[in-house]
Copies of this chain bind each other. A is one copy, B any other.
């Protein structure tokens, strides 16, 4: 128990091992279940326009904790204006490159970006093909206009509405897999 003796997976047997787990029926009855969501196509979730030069592919909505996941696609050089995070962000650069005017690094594919509550910053991509950013976010994000006047708050409810409005307008059935 907890002796860190394990230097490799305890088993590499390519078969299902019957582990002593007494709650299987309870899990089957009460768990929403894990799932696989395809991000590479539009089968599970469409690209929903976010202004002229960007789009969002919504991947997960958790209304109990105000958590949501998506890919933000900036289709060419562009900016997401200064916004303020009330919660946390975990983001992976999938394609292109991205940076913040406030920081000195440039995110490239295989870059992990962590953001924490209380940060306000301005997202820029200068890559000719923009960027795709996978994000896993908790809590709201406050957006401001170019004069610094509060404009709107984006959180799980905004995201759901963004997704559902587009689906309804385009005759796309809502995908229950996206709702945790």
Q: Does A80 sit at the interface, judged by CB under 8 A?
A: yes
- State whether B113 touches A36 (Cβ < 8 A): yes
Q: Mark A6-31 against chain B: 1 for CB-CB distance below 8 A, else 0.
A: 11111111111111111100110011
- State whether B145 touches A10 (Cβ < 8 A): yes
Which residues from 88 to 122 on chain A have a C-beta closer than 8 Å to any C-beta of chain B? 88-90, 92, 94, 101-103, 105, 107-120, 122
- State whether A59 touches B143 (Cβ < 8 A): no
Q: Mark A28-66 against chain B: 1 for CB-CB distance below 8 A, else 0.
A: 001111111111100000000111111000011111111
Question: Which residues of A does B touch, CB under 8 Å?
Answer: 1-23, 26-27, 30-40, 49-54, 59-66, 69, 78-84, 86-90, 92, 94, 101-103, 105, 107-120, 122, 124, 134, 136, 138-140, 142-148, 150-158, 160-162, 164, 179-180
| 18 intermolecular pairs with C-beta atoms under 8 Å apart | A1-B152, A2-B23, A2-B153, A4-B161, A7-B49, A7-B51, A10-B81, A10-B151, A11-B79, A11-B144, A17-B144, A19-B82, A19-B84, A19-B144, A27-B63, A35-B114, A90-B90, A136-B136
